[in-house]
Each structure stands twice: as structure tokens, then as C-alpha cells.
């Protein structure tokens, strides 16, 4: 009889699982951006090439490569994001466990004696019942997922874990772009310092020359004052640039996960900066697969869609099965005897919601509203991503044109300084012309360096806005269920 009951219960469970439907609708990923090409992208960059995972290597700078690797390894923010990912994966494991039966094993040993003065004991002749009790058994409980509610719960947890994974990758991407941007700003200041040191040396020579002419009666005190002012201004500018460099070096050290108290990067001592690399752009339709923040947004949208199914599942009946099997005996040596065997199958419990005051209906409405909110947020993130790409590409174009114009200004200013210096030495003009030409030439040189720095920063911005070589990974549930 008992075996027949067990077989009937198992058959019912198999039939229920085989014929069950899944509540809610399956997730459909939102459509990609309906834009043919980026407005400010060069035709030569509209290829399908992708940046490497270590995207910063396209700058071909060993110091930057070492900084990036150190930051990704040691930055506390990256470590924290990795721990959040581990928490999400563990939470997924908790929900996934609900899909399998729960089996527990228990054992007990007790010694007891009942009172001989109770009504039950007096009915037995005033006898007390005493003795040992030993028990060993296993119990099983299982919720039959008739409508797929548990599957939707697992799907939502899987999507949350995937979003945490994408968020971690987004933290790494943001960190690497911040390191690259700070690094090129620092190298730009190194180039400015090299220009200012050269200008300071020139101004000291000019001051000495004007002072010699003044001592020889060939110049006046006003010219000497102007030479000293220009030399002092160059020194002050040099200290200001050094101050800015110190702040950037401190910021880089923090990003790299090291103390800012120790020197991190030595100054280059050169006014040369590399040309910015060409970053492959591709098409807007591929942006969803290139940025971790957009991938995380899609994962959160998938989780919200699954939660709608969970809320719908509350309207349907739930079926759970329990059972236990074990042994119980007054004597420990007889515990394994056939007569000590005990078991039960059931109850096979059915729970059907009848009246809940509208709670389930309200939960479903709330879940649908959260999905619509997640969809609107995703559309906002997608538009923001497109704007960031267009902004960066526009900066690349305009900074290049600005650099070409500034090169002409730089060349003209250098020539004007040489002419003014020659005219002053021949006594044709006063020293005011020389100081004006010096100031204009120095400003043009510094502006040229700043534009070259901005062009490098624009390349970093393009790489970051396009995802910088990031490649999406498979959902965690897919990885866990893949055959080995």
C-alpha cells in the first residue's frame, strides 16, 4: 500500500512538471539604436574592428601600461565590485536551490519517564512509562513548480548576478579610463614644464643681456624691469604647473591603489607628446554589445520582466510534497531492525489563493510598473551613451582642426619673437616689443601642448564611450549548466 502511494505521488509530480507552463512572458531584448552611423565619425573608422581588452595598449606607452595593470589589480573599488559580484552569485545559488528537493538527515537520543499520577497513567493501572528512545531518519520537502514561479525567481536572480558582473566590468572600464585621462594630463603638464623651463632659461639670458646693456648705458631701467618681470612670471608659471602635476600624481596613486606619499611617475622633461591613436568606431547598432553599463541595464530589465512572472505566479495554486523515512527504537542495538522502520509520504499539499484583499493584484501592478520604469531608464542610458560617443567624436574632429590652426599661430609667434629680438639688439625697437613677442610665443607653445593633450584625452573618451574593448560574457546560469 505504501509503495503504491509513493509511486502515485512520484507519477503525479512527474506529470505536473511535464505539463506545467511558465508564468509571465519570456524576455525580449530591446532593439538596438536605429541610427545608420555616428554623425562625427570619419568614414575610415566605421569598421568592425574592436579594441583589445587591454585597450590602453593602443597608446604604446609602457608607463601607462604598468599603471593600468597595477590599478586593475590593486584598486579598492575594483575589489569591492568583485565582492558584490560574489554576493550576487551566492544569492543566485540560494534561489537555484529552490528548484531541487530539500533533503535533511536527523538523529536523536532521549530518555523519558511519564507521571504515574495522570489520568492516562491511572487508566493503565498507575504505571509510569519510562525508557530510552533512539531515532534516525531523513525527511524530504519539495515544491512542485507547476507554473514556473520558481523558475522566474531563478531567472531574476540570474539576471541580477549578470548585472553585478557587468557592473564590475563597468567599474574596471571607468577606472582604466580615469587612469589614462589623468596620465595624459600629467604628461601634458610635463610638456608644459619643459617649455616653461626652456622659457625661463631664455628669460634669464635676456635679463642678463638687458642688465649688461643697462650697465653700459645702452638701455634704460624700464627695459630691465620688464626683463625681470618676464623672468619672475615664468618662474611663477612653472611652480603653478608643478602644483597641478603634484595633484594629478596624487590622484593617479589613489587610482592605482598605492599611497600618494611616495613618488609615482618621474617627469619626462620633454615637450613632445605622441599623436593620438585612431580608435575604431563601428556603428551605433553595436553599442549595446560594447558597453558594460548598457549590458547591465539590459540584465536589470530582464530581472524586472522575470519579477512580473513571479507576481503572476501568486494567482495560481502551489503544490508541495513532504515525506520522511527512518528508524526508531527503544534500544540502540535494535535501531536497524525491520520492525523499527517508520516512514510517511505526504501530505501532498495544495494551496489555492481565494481572497487576499487585492494584495496579489497590487504586487502584480507594482512589478509591471517597475518593468516599465526599467525600460524607460534603459532608453535613457542608451541615449546618454550615444551622446557620449558623439561628444567624444566631435572633440576628436575639432581638436584636430584646432591643433592645425594653433600650429600656424605657434610658427608665426616664434618668428615674431626672433624678429623682435633682432630689432632690439640692433637698437631699432625697444624691449617692450621683445617682451610682447616672448609672451605671445610662450602662450602659443603652451596652447599647442594643451591642445595635443586634449586630443589624447579625446581619444580616451572615444574608447571609454565605446566600451573600450569590453566583450559581454554569457549569463551565469548558462555557464553553470553548460556540459563539461
Residue 387 counted as domain residue: yes
Across 82-91, 330-339, 365-374, 378-387, least confident range: 330-339
- Shared-domain flag, residues 198 and 241: yes
Residue 429 counted as domain residue: yes
Across 302-306, 315-319, 336-340, least confident range: 336-340
Torsion of CA 192, 198, 203, 209, to 10 degrees: -170
Residue 12 counted as domain residue: no
Q: What is the mean pLDDT of residues 441-468?
A: 90
Residue 15 counted as domain residue: no
The three grid cell numbers given for residue 31, joined into one nine-digit string: 532593439
What is the domain-level CATH number for residue 244?
1.20.1600.10
pLDDT digits (tens, 9 = 90+) for 344-366: 776 777 777 777 788 888 888 99
What's the CA gap between 406 and 349, in Å, rounded? Answer: 81
Q: Indicate whether 192 pLDDT > 70.
A: yes
Q: Indicate whether 121 pLDDT > 60.
A: yes
Q: Indicate whether 77 pLDDT > 80.
A: yes
> Which residues touch 286 (CB under 8 Å, ≥6 apart)?
32, 48
- Note the pLDDT of residue 43: 58
What's the CA gap between 345 and 139, in Å, rounded? Answer: 10
- Note the pLDDT of residue 2: 45
Say whether 319 sits in a helix, a strand or coil: strand
Identify which of 167, 121, 401 has the alpha carbon closest to the alpha carbon of residue 303: 167
Torsion of CA 361, 363, 369, 371, to 10 degrees: -120
DSSP 326: E
Residue 6 counted as domain residue: no
For cell 622659457, name the residue: 199
- Shared-domain flag, residues 165 and 213: yes
- Shared-domain flag, residues 31 and 57: yes
Confidence of residue 46 (pLDDT cuts 50, 70, 90): low
- Shared-domain flag, residues 185 and 127: no
- Shared-domain flag, residues 340 and 241: no
- Note the pLDDT of residue 21: 65
* Secondary element (H or E) of residue 130: strand 130-144
Across 36-50, 94-108, 321-335, least confident range: 36-50
Q: Indicate whether 182 pLDDT > 90.
A: yes
Question: Residue 335 is part of which domain span?
Answer: 101-144+319-352
- Shared-domain flag, residues 71 and 160: yes
- Shared-domain flag, residues 368 and 450: yes
- Shared-domain flag, residues 413 and 306: yes
What's the CA gap between 328 and 261, in Å, rounded? Answer: 70
What is the domain-level CATH number for residue 138?
2.20.200.10
Confidence of residue 277 (pLDDT cuts 50, 70, 90): confident
Residue 210 counted as domain residue: yes
Strand-pairing partners, residue 351, are: 318
Q: Which residue has better confidence, 268 or 435?
A: 435
- Note the pLDDT of residue 474: 59
Q: Which residue has better confidence, 284 or 417?
A: 417
What domain count does the chain have?
2
pLDDT digits (tens, 9 = 90+) for 125-151: 767 777 778 777 788 787 777 777 888
- Shared-domain flag, residues 330 and 271: no
Phi, psi of 19 (to 5 degrees): -100, 10
What's the CA gap between 289 and 170, in Å, rounded? Answer: 13
- Note the pLDDT of residue 178: 92
Residue 132 counted as domain residue: yes
Amino acid at each position: 500500500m505504501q509503495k503504491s502511494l509513493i509511486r502515485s505521488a512520484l507519477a503525479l509530480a512527474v506529470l505536473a512538471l511535464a505539463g506545467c507552463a511558465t508564468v509571465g512572458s519570456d524576455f525580449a531584448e530591446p532593439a538596438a539604436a536605429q541610427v545608420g552611423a555616428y554623425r562625427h565619425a570619419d568614414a575610415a573608422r566605421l569598421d568592425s574592428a574592436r579594441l583589445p581588452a587591454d585597450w590602453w595598449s593602443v597608446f604604446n606607452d609602457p608607463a601607462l601600461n604598468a599603471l593600468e595593470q597595477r590599478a586593475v589589480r590593486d584598486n579598492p573599488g575594483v575589489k569591492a565590485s568583485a565582492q558584490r559580484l560574489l554576493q550576487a552569485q551566492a544569492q543566485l545559488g540560494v534561489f537555484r536551490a529552490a528548484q531541487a528537493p530539500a533533503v535533511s538527515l536527523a538523529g536523536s537520543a532521549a530518555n523519558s519517564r511519564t507521571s504515574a499520577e495522570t489520568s492516562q497513567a491511572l487508566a493503565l493501572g498507575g504505571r509510569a512509562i519510562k525508557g530510552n528512545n533512539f531515532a534516525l531518519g531523513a525527511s524530504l520537502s519539495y515544491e512542485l513548480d507547476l507554473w514556473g514561479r520558481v523558475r522566474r525567481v531563478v531567472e531574476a536572480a540570474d539576471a541580477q548576478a549578470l548585472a553585478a558582473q557587468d557592473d564590475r566590468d563597468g567599474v574596471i572600464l571607468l577606472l582604466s579610463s580615469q587612469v589614462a585621462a589623468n596620465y595624459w594630463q600629467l604628461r601634458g603638464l610635463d610638456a608644459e614644464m619643459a617649455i616653461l623651463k626652456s622659457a625661463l632659461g631664455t628669460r634669464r639670458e635676456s635679463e642678463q643681456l638687458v642688465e649688461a646693456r643697462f650697465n653700459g648705458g645702452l638701455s634704460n631701467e624700464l627695459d630691465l624691469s620688464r626683463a625681470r618681470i618676464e623672468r619672475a612670471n615664468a618662474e611663477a608659471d612653472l611652480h603653478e604647473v608643478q602644483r597641478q602635476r603634484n595633484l594629478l600624481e596624487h590622484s593617479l596613486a589613489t587610482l592605482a591603489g598605492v599611497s600618494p606619499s611616495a613618488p609615482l611617475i618621474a617627469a619626462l622633461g620633454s615637450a613632445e607628446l605622441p599623436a593620438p591613436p585612431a580608435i575604431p568606431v563601428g556603428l551605433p547598432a553595436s553599442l549595446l554589445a560594447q558597453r558594460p553599463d548598457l549590458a547591465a541595464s539590459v540584465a536589470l530589465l530582464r530581472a524586472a520582466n522575470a519579477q512580473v512572472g513571479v507576481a503572476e505566479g501568486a494567482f495560481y495554486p502551489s503544490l508541495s510534497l513532504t515525506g520522511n523515512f527512518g528508524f526508531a527504537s527503544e534500544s540502540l542495538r535494535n535501531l536497524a531492525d525491520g520492525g523499527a522502520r517508520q516512514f510517511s509520504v505526504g501530505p501532498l499539499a495544495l494551496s489555492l489563493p481565494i481572497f487576499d484583499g487585492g494584495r496579489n493584484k497590487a504586487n502584480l501592478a507594482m512589478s509591471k510598473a517597475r518593468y516599465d520604469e526599467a525600460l524607460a531608464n534603459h532608453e535613457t542610458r542608451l541615449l546618454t551613451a550615444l551622446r557620449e560617443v558623439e561628444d567624444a567624436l566631435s572633440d576628436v574632429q575639432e581638436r584636430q582642426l584646432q591643433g592645425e590652426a594653433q600650429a600656424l599661430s605657434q610658427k608665426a609667434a616664434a618668428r615674431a619673437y626672433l624678429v623682435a629680438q633682432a630689432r632690439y639688439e640692433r637698437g631699432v625697437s625697444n624691449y617692450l616689443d621683445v617682451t610682447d613677442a616672448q609672451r605671445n610665443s610662450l602662450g602659443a607653445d603652451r596652447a599647442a601642448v594643451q591642445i595635443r593633450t586634449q586630443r589624447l584625452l579625446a581619444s580616451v573618451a572615444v574608447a571609454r564611450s565605446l566600451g573600450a574593448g569590453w566583450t559581454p560574457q554569457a549569463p551565469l546560469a548558462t555557464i553553470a549548466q553548460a556540459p563539461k
